[in-house]
Amino acid sequence: MNHDAYDDNYIRSILSSVKSIAMIGASPVNVRPSYFAFKYLAQRGYDMIPVNPGHVGKSLLGKPFVASLADIGRPVDMIDIFRNSSHIMPVVDDALTLSPPPKVIWMQLGARDDAAAEKAEAAGLKVVMNRCPKIEYGRLSSEISWMGVNSRTLSSKRAPIPTQGMRLSLNRMSVGGGATAASDRAAKNKSEPT
């Protein structure tokens, strides 16, 4: 697997097939990137599990923190690692002891460990490195284009505004919808005569 460039279909197949995601390094602090990613993925219908031994006894968006992967007590489809590269191999080692093992090991932006990836792939797991599932989901579902970010997709049609319950291109339902103050103003201004 070439981990320098992923085919969109590879990423799409992962995000379309996983249901439960254990986020290693999740934080209850609402200005941390792991908090934003956790909340976003939970709003897209993923069963999110926060894993952080420093926050056991707390919860993140109603989900109780667990100290380790072994403490989850049920199968997990994907492990999203929000830790720096030096902590990845121990997480992969722990993941490979789970029964059944996860289907995917995902390393967040800035995190890469080629030896850990090779070990996980040898055990039959899919691996993504140096990517954010929140960003990839938004890009592949066209939601990101509504946030003012170039999706690099050329089209003469604008993607529909995500609404609550709308089926997105990744075949998941939107829980949060797409309304924002900016989109509401734009829609209002567009409907007013000039």
Least confident of 18-22, 59-63, 109-113, 161-165: 161-165
pLDDT score, position 28: 93
pLDDT > 70? residue 174: no
Number of domains observed in the structure of the chain: 1
Asked if residue 144 is part of any domain, the answer here is: no
Does this model's pTM top 0.85? no
Token pair 């993925």: residue = 41
Asked if residue 78 is part of any domain, the answer here is: yes
Least confident of 16-25, 30-39, 43-52, 170-179: 170-179
Q: Using alpha carbons only, give the angle 138, 62, 110 rounded to the nearest 5 degrees.
A: 40
Asked if residue 1 is part of any domain, the answer here is: no
Digit-coded pLDDT (tens) for 41-63 = 999 999 999 999 999 999 999 99
Q: What is the mean pLDDT of residues 95-110?
A: 96
Digit-coded pLDDT (tens) for 112-138 = 999 999 999 999 999 999 999 999 998
Asked if residue 12 is part of any domain, the answer here is: yes
Asked if residue 194 is part of any domain, the answer here is: no
Beta bridge partners of 66: 51
CA dist list (Å): 84 to 16, 43, 109, 133:
26, 25, 9, 16
State the DSSP H helix or E strand holding residue 20, giving kind and residue range, or none if neither. Answer: strand 20-24
pLDDT score, position 178: 47
Asked if residue 121 is part of any domain, the answer here is: yes
Task: For 141-165, give one letter per residue: b (16+ CB within 10 A) or e.
Answer: bbbbbbeeeebeeeeeeebebbeee
The domain spanning residue 65 has which CATH number?
3.40.50.720
Token pair 């690692």: residue = 81
- Alpha-carbon distance of 125 to 58, in angstroms, equals 30
Asked if residue 109 is part of any domain, the answer here is: yes
pLDDT score, position 168: 57
pLDDT > 60? residue 194: no
Digit-coded pLDDT (tens) for 59-89 = 999 999 999 999 999 999 999 999 999 999 9
pLDDT score, position 180: 46
